[in-house]
């Protein structure tokens, strides 16, 4: 059987790094991308026998996204699975525009550049699997981090649209929307409700991707929080939160 060819964007830390460990240990031919190369290179060095590629990429530069992904495809030969983990989130209670702009650049502009390139590539290849880490945060606006929650809602809606396009194309193109609750990575240090480690999250994400799930809550019990968010009337939500 030929090895799966996997691209992970945002593989230098957090869930992307933990996923890179899993895919490399599964023997997949892997390309790891982010702005910081050193941790990805160090990880890939543990698997010297496997074909792997480490590239620097800032997703906020769309021309670079196209160039690097084209180069990566050439190196790997093709792409079976692209996992987009790159993201940026901060609370911003004072609506500092520079903070909002950073999240829009990464989570909206950068995300769109990556998923548009990938979807077009999969259409051309007539198959493929795109998985993106969005968030439970995308299900309702939040007064502490309006830009972050809104950018995640954008991602969720965009993936819904791509899934619809994939179904209409009748091609085996799969879209997986991964929605974590709290994961113990840099953006939210300290103990939080139902928080898991990046490694635990990555194990659940891997399983969801292998099952080609359309939507996966991480950890799975976060689906109950998602359900509550959808069912609770706005007036009650505003009182509690
Ligand atoms: N942690 C949580 O509780 C949580 C919950 C729900 C959803 N999420 C989402 O999960 C995703 C992964 O986050 P994480 O928690 O694993 O955090 P993380 O450790 O900060 O990882 C973020 C990754 O994105 C990369 N990245 C950021 N900006 C980039 C850019 N402009 N170009 C290329 N790569 C970029 C970072 O690499 P470089 O800085 O080296 O470029 C890093 O590899 C994010 O979308 C986040 O919003 C996190």
Question: What dotted CATH number matches 5-240?
Answer: 3.40.50.720
Distance between Cα 86 and ligand 1 center (Å)? 4
**C-alpha 5 – ligand 1 centre gap (Å):** 22
Which residue stretches of the chain have pLDDT < 70? Answer: 1, 187-191
Residue nearest to atom 44 of ligand 1 (CA): 87
Q: Other CB atoms closer than 10 Å to residue 72's CB: what's the count?
A: 20
Atom 26 of ligand 1, nearest CA residue: 86
- In this structure, are residues 163 and 175 in contact, taking their beta carbons and an 8 Å threshold? yes
pLDDT at 154: 98
3-state secondary structure of 52: strand
- Among 7, 9, 10, residue to substitute to test ligand 1 (most atoms within 8 Å of Cβ): 10
| Residue whose CA lies nearest to ligand 1 atom number 12 | 85
- The percent of residues in the chain predicted with pLDDT above 70, rounded, is 98
DSSP 135-167: -GGGGS--SS-HHHHHHHHHHHHHHHHHHHHHH
Cβ(120)–Cβ(73) below 8 Å: no
Structure confidence by residue, pLDDT tens digits, 76-135: 999 999 999 999 999 999 999 999 999 999 999 999 999 999 999 999 999 999 999 999
Ligand 1 pocket, mutate which of 14, 59, 72, 203 (most atoms under 8 A from CB): 14
Per-residue model confidence (pLDDT) at position 192: 83
| Atom 38, ligand 1: residue with shortest CA distance | 35
CA of 18 to the centre of ligand 1 (A): 12
DSSP 53-117: EEEE--TT-HHHHHHHHHHHHHHHSS-SEEEE--------TT--HHHHHHHIIIIIIIHHHHHHH
How far is residue 238's CA from residue 98's CA, in Å, rounded to a whole number? 26
Q: Quick one: pLDDT at residue 119?
A: 98
- What is the predicted pLDDT for the residue at 34? 98
Nearest atom (ligand 1) to Cα of 137: 6
CA atoms of 16 and 86, how far apart (whole Å):
8
For 124-143, give the secondary structure using H, E and C: HHCCEEEEEECCHHHHCCCC
| Burial 77-92, CB ≥16 within 10 A → b, else e | eebbbbbbbbbbbeeb
Binding pocket residue ranges, ligand 1, CB within 6 Å: 10-16, 34-36, 57-60, 85-89, 106, 110, 133, 135, 180, 182-183, 185-188
Q: Which residue has the tokens 């480690």?
A: 197
Residue minimizing CA distance to atom 16 of ligand 1: 14
Identify whether 219 is preceded by a cis peptide bond (ω within 30 of 0).
yes
């Amino acid at each position: 059987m030929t090895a799966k060819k996997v691209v992970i964007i945002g593989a230098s830390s957090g869930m992307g790094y933990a996923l890179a460990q899993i895919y490399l240990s599964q023997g997949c031919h892997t390309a790891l991308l982010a702005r910081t190369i050193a941790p990805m290179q160090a990880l890939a060095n543990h698997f010297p026998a496997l074909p792997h590629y480490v590239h620097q990429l800032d997703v906020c530069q769309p021309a670079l996204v196209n160039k690097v992904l084209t180069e990566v495809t050439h190196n790997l030969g093709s792409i079976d699975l692209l996992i987009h983990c790159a993201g940026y989130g901060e609370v911003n209670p004072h609506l500092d525009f520079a903070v909002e702009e950073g999240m829009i650049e990464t989570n909206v502009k950068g995300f769109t550049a990556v998923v548009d390139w990938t979807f077009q590539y999969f259409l051309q290849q007539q198959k493929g699997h795109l998985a993106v880490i969005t968030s439970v945060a995308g299900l309702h606006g939040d007064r502490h981090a309006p830009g972050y929650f809104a950018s995640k809602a954008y991602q969720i809606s965009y993936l819904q649209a791509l899934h619809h396009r994939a179904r209409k194309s009748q091609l085996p193109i799969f879209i997986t929307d991964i929605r974590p609750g709290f994961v113990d990575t840099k953006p939210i240090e300290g103990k939080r409700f139902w928080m898991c480690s990046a490694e635990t999250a990555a194990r659940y994400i891997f399983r969801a991707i292998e099952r080609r799930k359309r939507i996966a809550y991480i950890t799975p019990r976060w689906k109950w929080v998602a359900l509550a968010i959808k069912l609770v009337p706005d007036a009650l939500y505003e009182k509690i939160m």
